[in-house]
Structures are given as C-alpha cells and as structure tokens.
Structure 1
Amino acid sequence: MIDRSARVWGATALVLGSLTAAGVARAEDCTIPVGLVMELTGPAGEYGQAGAKSVEMAFRDLNQAGGAQGCRIVTDTRDSHSTGTLAVDAAQQLVQVRHVPVIIGGIISSVTIPILTAVTAPAKVVQVSPASSSPTLTALGREGKTNGIFFRTITSDALQGVAAARYALDKGLKKISIIHVNNDFGVNLAQEFSAAYKALGGTIVTTVPYNEKQPSYDAEATAAQSGDPEGLYLVSTPVDGATIARAWIAGGGPQKFLLNDGMNSQDFIASVGPQYLNEAYGTSSGTAPTASTAYFNAGYKAFSGLDPASPAADRSYDAGAIVGLAIAAAPSREPLAIRDAIARVVDPAGAPIGAGPEEFGKALTLLKQGETIRYEGVIGPIRFDRYGDITGPFRLWKITDGVVTTTGEMGTDTVNALKAKIATP
C-alpha cells in the first residue's frame, strides 16, 4: 500500500521537475536576434561573406562570456545580393516581422543608404555598417535624417580620397584616369579623390563611370585611355574590377593602378593575374593595433575558413562586439535604449576592454555594476562622433608578386591636415 503523503510528494516533485525543466528550456531558448543584411552574393559578395562570419565570431565570444542579460545573441542573416532594393526588402522583414532591435549592414554604401533612409531611420532601429564609407551617410546625419541611430566602423571616403591622392603622387602617378562604379560610393570617392589630387598638383585625364555586372567593360577602358594617362585609379569591387583591369591591360593601358580599399582581394589578383599588378597601390581604412587585433588575427581563420585580412573582416567583428555589448548594457531591448547604451561601451573614460570571451566577461561584469567600458577593437580604440562616424589612420599597401603588402600608414593628423590645406583657398 502506498502512503498518501508519498503520493502527494511524488506529484509535487513531478510538478516541480516539470517547472524546472521548463525554466531550463526557457533559459536555453532565450535568444536576442540581431539582423544582418550582408552582400553574400553579387559584386560585393566577398566582403559580405567575411563580414557575416566576423559578426558571428563576435557573438560567439560574447555568448561564451555569458551573453546579454543571460540570453544568447543570435544572427538572422539575409543576403542583399549587393542590390539596394533587395536589401530594403530584407531589412523590412527583419524589422516588421522579426522585430530585431539592430541591423548590422550593409557592407557597400549603395545597400546601406537605402536601408537607412527607407527602413531603420523611420523605424528608429539601430543600424551599424562595418564598411560603408560614403560621405552621404555623414550628410544624412547632419541633416537630421538618421534619428541618431546610424553608426559605422570605417572612416569616410571624404578622408580616404585625400589619402589616396597623396599616395598616388608619392608613387609618381601625376597624370591619371579614373574608372569608378556609378553608385553613391563610387561617385563620392571619385569626387573626393579628384578634388584632392588636383589641389595637390595632379592631373585627371578623364573620369569614366560604369554600371555594375556588365559582361564587358571594353568601352569604358578605351575611353579612360584617351589622353595618355600614366595609370588608372580603379574604384570598384573585385569581380567587376577584375574585368575592367583585364580590359585596360588588353587595350594597352599602362600597368600602373591605384585601388580603393575593397580591391585588397586575392580573388581580384588571381583573376587579373599577379604579373600585371606589380605596380598596383591601394589605400584602406587602417588600424591602430591592439591586443584585440592579435586575438582576431590568431583565431579568425579557424572560425571562418577565411583570411583575417579579408575586406571588412576586422571592422565587422568590432561592429558585432559593440552591438552585443550595447545590448548587454541597455536597460531594455528597445532600439533607442540600445542606441544610448553604445556610448557606455565606447566611453573614453571607461575601463579598457578588448576582444574575446575573457575580455567580454570582464565587460559584462562592469556593465552590470553600472560602470562604463572603453572597447579597444580589432581596428583600434573606437570613438563615434555625433553622426556615428569614426576617425582613424589609413593603411598604404601595394601588390607584389600576388601578395598585398603594407608599405606604410598615413596617420589621422596627417590626413586631417591635408584636408584642411586643400579646403583653404
């Protein structure tokens, strides 16, 4: 005969056990989705694939450190196909259906800008771009059209154009033609470069825009060769850029190139042929090496299968880290609360914090105690101005025997001084 008290205890234990199991399940299922709109395919596919993996690595590190208020941060990744209209559709799904508080992306400005103006700014959802460098994004902030929700972990092309102009002249390119992608990124960078290059004594022979995804760019290459330039400034992406460079070389153009940041690509080099690129120079938004840089470089390939020098990889990790830490620091999951918490993560007076689970564990403890932190990222210590912009150095590089090598750095003060000099009548 079973004692009645035993039956009661057994039933109570069963209920408690069920409740405990449900609690564990809820804890395990507690996730916070962050939207990623990345250019996984199309002309900028190489950038987006590297960027997405970097954000995933940052979230993995943060989750290993304890997550955000006990919850895991997960990505909901959508492919923009390197196209603005498709990016807007993806972002609308993430905001209206998935109710994400943050979108990381896009990579290229022609994707990022329509997401910002059509989706995130009106909805007041935080947006962080790892690699969109168009000055238009700053202008939108100045005009009050971003609701203060936009940030980027790359310097503006207003500065890259100056750095590229000085570097070209230093390398003896005093008479140059430009071929640039005909979108916001390409138009702005070509304009900024042209103004600086001419002010510093260079001559622009001709400027030729091109539309993306054409099977042939022979006409553009021929037009750019008129006037006997000494070299070509090619503002492009790896796939189209390789087709243009081959057409330039086949048409007898001089094998001297100046390249924008995204052309630091092994796919581009292999497609063109390294033997034709031994006088190819480029600029990229640089880094101020930290312990985070060493951590990322040591672990990224094992995590992603990609080279840590892949375009947008380093700054995408930082975008993910800042977003994740801000979610952890925010008093709620409301987008504007997360926006305001970003200041607590990159506070110049805060405790220095690097990348990786151990450092993120320290950060989570400090943030829980109401303290602020100073995230010192893979690209260096990050500070946002009122428009979500950062400043930083520029890396100077060249291609030698198929390998991209760093030749120097142009510091922030140098670039700003050149910019001021050019702007002075």
Structure 2
Amino acid sequence: MALAALGTSALQAPTPAAAQDCTITIGSVVSLTGPAGRFGQAAAKSIELAFNDLNAAGGAAGCKLSPDVRDAQSQGTVAVDAARQLVDLQKVPAIIGGIISSVSIPIVTSVTGPAGVVQVSPASSSPTLTVLAKEGKTGGVFFRTITSDALQGTAAAKYALDQGLKKIAIVHVNNDFGVNMVAEFRKSYERLGGQITSTTPYNPNQASYQPEVTEALGGEPEALYLVAYPGDGTTVARTWIAQGGPARFLLNDGMNSADFIKDVGAKYLDDAFGTSSGTTATPSTDYFCQAYNAFATDFDCQAPAADRAYDAAAIVGLAVAIAGAPDKAKLKDAIRKVVDPNGETIHAGPDGFKKALALIEEGKPIRYEGVIGPVQFDQHGDITGPFRLWRIQNGEVVTIGEMKADEVAALKAQAGE
C-alpha cells in the first residue's frame, strides 16, 4: 500500500530543486490493518512528515526521500513478503518497521539481516531482538527507537505495586511480545512481593475471549494486567467487566489509546494504570507535537509509535546524507553517526535538518536529539531511556511520573539479572 493513499497535508513545504532531481525510496513495513493497525497508521504519518521535513531542508545526498509503505497486516508472513518485494525488487537501502515484534523478527531474520539492509523499528520491543543480535542473527543492521521489554516489564512491576495492585491476573497476547513482556514482569513483580493468580494467553482476532477471561477470574484477583493491542484488548477488557472482574487494570504501552478508552468506556477505566517508553523533552519534542497534530489530523502526537517513528525516519534520512548515497553497506555505520555524542546538536524539523545537512556537507559530526530525546545505539542496536508512568482519569491519559533507566537497571540488578 503506497503511503500516498493515506493522504497528504498542507504542511508539506515546497522542496528545493536540488532535492527534486532524483528520488531515493526508503521502504517501510508497518501494520496498517489488523490488531496493530492504528499504531502503524500513526507511524506511517510520522514517516511521511519526517521525509517532508528532510525534503524541505534539501533532501538527502541531493535527492528527494520518498517512503514506500507496505501493510504488514499485523502478520509475520505478510510482512516478510512485503519486505522481500522492497529489498529484492525495489532495491531499497533501508526499511523502517515493523511495528510489532512478531513482524520485525521474521523480517530481520529472513530478509534484511541476510541482505545487509538496515532496518529501524520504532515500536518492536521484544528482548528476543537483543538475543538475536547477540547471536549474530541480525547482521548488525537492526536498530530500534524504543526500549526493550526487558526493561519495561521491570518498570511495570514496580509501578503496579506502587499503585496498590498486589494480586493480579494476567491476560496476554500469545506472541513474542506478549510472552516476553509477561516473563520480564513476573521476575520483578513476584520478587517485590506481588502475587500472580493466573497467566492466560490469547490468540489475536478471536470473536470472543470469554473462556480466557473466565480462567483469569479464578483465584479472586484484585486487578488485571492486560498485555494486548487496542482491538483485542478492548474485547478482553469489556468481557472482564461484564463477567464481574474488578475494574482495576495495569496496561502495556500500546494500550495508551483513545480508541481503547472510548470503546471500553471511560467510567470503567479510572483505575487503569500503564507504562510506556518515555521521552526526554527537547526542542524536537515541542516541534513534533505541533507539526504532527496539524499534519495527522486523525491522530495525536501522543499516539503510541508516532514520536519514535518520526525519529526512526529522521535517523534513516540523515544517515543517507552522511553516507552520501543510498548505499546499504555505508548506511549501517552512518546510522550511528547521526547520533554521534561528539557531534553538534541538531533538532527535528526543516530548520534543524537544514543545519544538519550543512554540517554533513562540511564533513562535521552531528548529534540528532530527536522527539524522544538524545539517544545512542548500543552494539545490539538497542537504546535505553526513561519510562513514562501514566493512568487514565476521566477518559484521558495522564502522566503521573517517570522511572529513569538507572532506576530500572538497579531493580534488575537486585534481582540478579
């Protein structure tokens, strides 16, 4: 599915002539439909906005950047086919995506890793991706602009207990993301004194989740930890409430969704809490929120994956400029040079990118401090960062605190991890 089908915006600025002489196509495989569809749609608009901003600043390596967005349909097999088309037929030098880990993992192991094509995911958080990198199975070309669930699960455990959620049942999507998130959560939650009454996996796209909810209600839990995507999660939450489950919830990052709140009913969610990968505010953060809200009118800048997708696209585009060409071999090293800690700080938006391109032209290092803050990629393509602690109140998601990365690391160390 071409991104053009998602609409355009009056925010798109005229592109300088230098960036119109040639076009560099960057692939993207995100879930525009299926359980993760809303995440992918929000991310696709961010990618479009980032490339518009880069083109307005002069493009990359003298060329206009153009996204070729394909729908993964929230399915690994579909995603692999889409990625193969982009890599084998379109010869793209990089792919942005996927959104969910069960899509990103088969793409990197079957397509981008073997082909040596850079892949940057804005939302795939499974610890399995780190393991694959350690085992040399990603080819060193996989990066992500979201923290691993190995950290988020620990943060969620501490936050749950701080909010008085001491005896919970777990219902989780039965894929790599859900299984790993729960495993990491369990380690810390039980060590810190919490009690898990049951753990029940579910398969996506079921018409009913009554058997799973009935099982989860055994053991008289005080709350439900729901690790899901908004579509399926809505059905699970409504079934939980209808069957008399306590209206107290712990939610994963993807459930920070206006659709979820509206469809479940705000009055049932005033005791719902959640964690998300956080941000360190920079001028990029302010720019993005204003620009994205005007550009992607069906979404808000707080939409899961939106901020991280902009940064993923910006990093890829600036890496092309540093490489001087859409050369997949050069892009692997250029990605890290975009966030060089010794470089001159640059921010998001046409003005920031214009400054970045001028510095690159002069052979000077840059440090992109993006929407989510200043990041660096470790040897496995991972980043670290803070975690946002939020709750739902009167139908709105409200930030009530932050847990810094070093606090999470200390908790994991105490557990001997």
TM-score, with structure 1 as normaliser: 0.93
Secondary structure of the equivalent of 1:275?
A: helix
Secondary structure of the equivalent of 1:75?
A: strand
Q: Distance in 1 between matches of 2:159 and 2:415?
A: 15
**Corresponding position of 1:344:** 337
**Corresponding position of 1:310:** 303
**Corresponding position of 1:5:** none
Match of 2:121 among 124, 129, 139: 129
Match of 1:224 among 206, 213, 216: 216
Q: Distance in 2 between matches of 1:342 and 1:190?
A: 31
The residue identity in structure 1 corresponding to 2:333 is D
Bigger Rg over Cα: 1
CA contact (8 A) 2:61 2:324 kept: no
**Corresponding position of 1:112:** 104
CA contact (8 A) 1:232 1:256 kept: yes
Match of 2:411 among 404, 407, 418: 418
CA contact (8 A) 1:236 1:263 kept: yes
Secondary structure of the equivalent of 1:196?
A: helix
The residue identity in structure 2 corresponding to 1:139 is V
Q: Distance in 2 between matches of 1:63 and 1:329?
A: 15
1:401 aligns with 2:394: yes
1:275 aligns with 2:281: no
1:172 aligns with 2:172: no
1:77 aligns with 2:69: yes
Secondary structure of the equivalent of 2:276?
A: strand
Identity over aligned pairs, percent: 64
Report the CA distance between 1:26 and its aligned residue.
Answer: 10
CA contact (8 A) 1:200 1:422 kept: no
Q: Distance in 2 between matches of 1:213 and 1:344?
A: 41
Q: Distance in 2 between matches of 1:325 and 1:144?
A: 26
Q: Distance in 1 between matches of 2:19 and 2:407?
A: 51
The residue identity in structure 2 corresponding to 1:338 is L
The residue identity in structure 2 corresponding to 1:225 is L
**Corresponding position of 2:282:** 290
| 1:319-356 deviation digits (Å, cap 9, x = unpaired) | 00000000011043221201111122100010001000
Q: Tell me which protein shows more helix as a share of its residues.
A: 1
Q: Distance in 1 between matches of 2:348 and 2:48?
A: 13
CA contact (8 A) 2:19 2:60 kept: no
| 1:245-293 deviation digits (Å, cap 9, x = unpaired) | 0010011111000000000000001110110000000000000000000
Q: Distance in 2 between matches of 1:29 and 1:211?
A: 48
CA contact (8 A) 2:61 2:325 kept: no
Deviates more, 1:358-367 or 1:334-343: 334-343
Q: Distance in 1 between matches of 2:138 and 2:37?
A: 26
Match of 2:318 among 318, 321, 325: 325
Report the CA distance between 1:398 and its aligned residue.
Answer: 0.2
Which runs of structure 2 are paired with 1:192-207 in the superposition (5 Å)?
192-207=184-199
Task: Number of aligned residue pairs: give it.
Answer: 401
Report the CA distance between 1:25 and its aligned residue.
Answer: 9.8
Q: Distance in 1 between matches of 2:239 and 2:336?
A: 48
Match of 1:383 among 370, 376, 387: 376
Query: Which residues of structure 1 form unaligned runs of 5+?
Result: 1-23
**Corresponding position of 1:143:** 135
Q: Distance in 1 between matches of 2:132 and 2:61?
A: 33
TM-score, with structure 2 as normaliser: 0.95
1:88 aligns with 2:80: yes
**Corresponding position of 2:235:** 243
Q: Distance in 2 between matches of 1:302 and 1:27?
A: 24
The residue identity in structure 1 corresponding to 2:307 is D
The residue identity in structure 2 corresponding to 1:101 is P
The residue identity in structure 1 corresponding to 2:351 is E
Q: Distance in 2 between matches of 1:343 and 1:401?
A: 42
Distance 1:232 1:313, change over 3 A: same
Report the CA distance between 1:27 and its aligned residue.
Answer: 6.7
**Corresponding position of 2:30:** 38
Query: Which residues of structure 2 form unaligned runs of 5+?
Result: 1-15
Secondary structure of the equivalent of 1:349?
A: coil
Secondary structure of the equivalent of 1:103?
A: strand
Q: Distance in 2 between matches of 1:279 and 1:95?
A: 46
Q: Distance in 2 between matches of 1:29 and 1:311?
A: 35
Q: Distance in 2 between matches of 1:386 and 1:371?
A: 23
Secondary structure of the equivalent of 2:398?
A: strand
1:369 aligns with 2:362: yes
CA contact (8 A) 2:338 2:368 kept: yes
What's the Cα RMSD here?
1.2
**Corresponding position of 1:190:** 182
Q: Distance in 1 between matches of 2:142 and 2:20?
A: 31
Report the CA distance between 1:301 and its aligned residue.
Answer: 1.4
**Corresponding position of 2:146:** 154
Report the CA distance between 1:28 and its aligned residue.
Answer: 3.0
Match of 1:257 among 249, 255, 259: 249
The residue identity in structure 2 corresponding to 1:316 is A
Q: Distance in 2 between matches of 1:51 and 1:25?
A: 28
| 1:135-176 deviation digits (Å, cap 9, x = unpaired) | 000000000111110000000000000000000000001111
Match of 2:90 among 87, 95, 98: 98
CA contact (8 A) 1:262 1:311 kept: yes
